[in-house]
A = this chain, B = another copy of it.
């Protein structure tokens, strides 16, 4: 339907000016008289012109694209099932758009493990945002030490050579546990895998709160999925009976897995067992009983992630940063 794609030169000919002028005008360069600029921008719009990004990226050596890598462990299926990871990708997308950047989506099953090479050397993107630290930080380390502009969503307290933005997981774990204690729970389970960076901090917070209350810690180490949680709690109940009266789950999906196991045995939540999750996904509010949870401010975190990436692109060096969290108090822990 359309005739052949217009290029800058065609537009220039139409307007009777040089391509330099058109180029500058479209980039709103003040070197060009305001009047001419407006006229040319109008013309471009009228002819449905848009710049060939390939050409301009080649010339400027900038892409205005950010690669977002969902960093999965491979041995967990958290990816597809956990709404939280995808939610944060959505937020990052919004934040990037706000800064005029585009989002190239990838996951860690990508072609190469050499992110620096694949994304940056190849000029596919200007920088990288990694979502999730995963258990191994090797790929991240490698990219960072190759000098790639890079930010990670993860646990900011992890010592690292690259900036990490994330929630105060320690505080989250502590708050959740203290909340359970305050609601009368004595034997509180930690449900999650402390081998995972972010969860290990939540676990530390849990431990400190438990110790201060002179209670006994008990960890059920499971994969970050609801089905693993379901099985884990089920098994525990079979083997030892109801030996706990509170659960601090490392994610909401995990909490729901536990909740199912409890409900099936007619164990009352929160009366027999109080329960707190982590993430505050949409479902937390809509489940019955509704799930108390530690809410992560993903929106704010996303903006910070992008800002820090931009700062790096501008040559500044940036630090890790903690984003505030909040306990959302609902029915599952209230007694």
Residues of chain A whose beta carbon lies under 8 Å from any beta carbon of chain B: 1-2, 5, 48-55, 57-58, 61, 63, 65, 68, 79-83, 86-87, 89-91, 93-94, 97, 102-107, 109-111, 114, 117-118, 121-124, 145-147, 226-227, 230, 253, 256-257, 259-260, 263-264, 282-283, 285-288, 290
Contacts and interface: CB of A to CB of B under 8 A. Distances in A.
Please state the number of chain copies in the assembly. Answer: 2
B54 A63 contact: yes
Nearest to A107: B93
A122 B80 contact: no
21 contacts: A1-B145, A1-B147, A50-B122, A52-B58, A54-B54, A54-B57, A54-B58, A54-B61, A82-B282, A93-B105, A93-B107, A94-B107, A104-B104, A104-B105, A226-B282, A226-B283, A256-B286, A256-B287, A259-B288, A260-B287, A260-B288
B50 A118 contact: yes
Contacts of A256: 283, 286-287
A48 B50 CA distance: 34
Contacts of A81: 282
Contacts of A61: 54
Nearest to A80: B90
Contacts of A226: 282-283, 286
B83 A97 contact: no
Contact of A2 (B91, B114, B147, B290): B147
A91 B260 CA distance: 27
Contacts of A283: 226, 253, 256, 283
B102 A103 contact: no
Nearest to A90: B80
A219 B179 CA distance: 42
B104 A102 contact: yes
Nearest to A86: B86
A79 to B, nearest CB: 7
Contact of A146 (B1, B50, B93, B117): B1
Given A52-B58, A107-B93, A122-B50, A263 B288 contact: yes
A109 B97 contact: yes
